[in-house]
A = this chain, B = another copy of it.
Amino acid sequence: MKRIKCELMYDGSRFSGYQSQLNGRTVQQELEKALYVIHKKTSVKTHASGRTDAGVHALGQIVHFDTSIQMPAERWARALNGELPADISVKGTEEVPDSFHARYSVKGKEYRYRIYRTPFRDPFKKAYAHHYPYQLDVGRMKEAALYLIGEHDFTSFCSAKTDKENKVRTITDITFIEQDNDLEVRFVGNGFLYNMVRIIAGTLIKAGNGRIEPAEMAFILADRDRKRAGQTAPAEGLYLWKVFY
């Protein structure tokens, strides 16, 4: 058996998320359907770096699977792309040792959250960025973000629906890229809890529009209470950008 690591991108707008479920179209189901065809009607189990929610996009999701098919590892990308629907694309494939696991070997991740601020809705961005046409002071957002850098208990920024006990994570970097009406916030860290990036994005927006002071971030973190942070920002702005191993 060979272990194959795949780098995937997908447009999340027409998926009910990454992980297989009874109702709704998912990325995992499409991927396993493609593998089933390639393996001549034998099921192949895939393992991803983590799930993504409905509407969330990925530029660098990582998945692994084991196969007995003899084929140069780099040719798997083309084989899979031949079977996958147009909203999923395999960017590359490589053989990895058995010790590699797409989920357990993760050392860190980068997520990006995109906001656009034109006064009118942009039909080309509607599923790919969060439309926020109101006042937003990016300087205040940057100041607020500084309180999150480092190792913290992120309970306040985690959906109550999580099954994770340990809410301590390290964010190493939050960067703001502004171009015309577009704002992209890049988050790099050793791991992110359920909805964590979207809750942070929603809270940074509150700092940007003046509804909280940047310094309040310290108290929100310390309170370890989801109700203290801002709303979960919409799924369409979120991208799983890169997984580090």
Among B9, B121, B122, point to the contact of A123 (Cβ < 8 A).
Answer: B9
A91: chain B residues at CB < 8 Å are 120
Give me the interface of A with B, judged by CB distance under 8 Å.
Answer: 9-11, 57, 77, 81, 86-91, 120-124, 126, 128
For the complex formed, measure the closest distance between the CB of A107 and the CB atoms of chain B, giving whole angstroms. 25
Query: Could you tell me if B86 and A9 are in contact, using CB atoms closer than 8 angstroms?
Result: no
Known pairs A9-B122, A11-B126, A86-B126; list 18 more (Cβ under 8 Å).
A9-B123, A9-B124, A10-B123, A11-B123, A11-B124, A57-B124, A77-B120, A81-B120, A81-B121, A86-B121, A86-B123, A88-B123, A89-B120, A89-B121, A89-B122, A89-B123, A90-B120, A124-B128
Which of A9, A57, A124 has its CB near the most chain B CB atoms (within 10 A)? A124
Which B residue sits closest to A77, measured CB to CB?
B120
Which B residue sits closest to A59, measured CB to CB?
B124
For the complex formed, measure the closest distance between the CB of A40 and the CB atoms of chain B, giving whole angstroms. 24
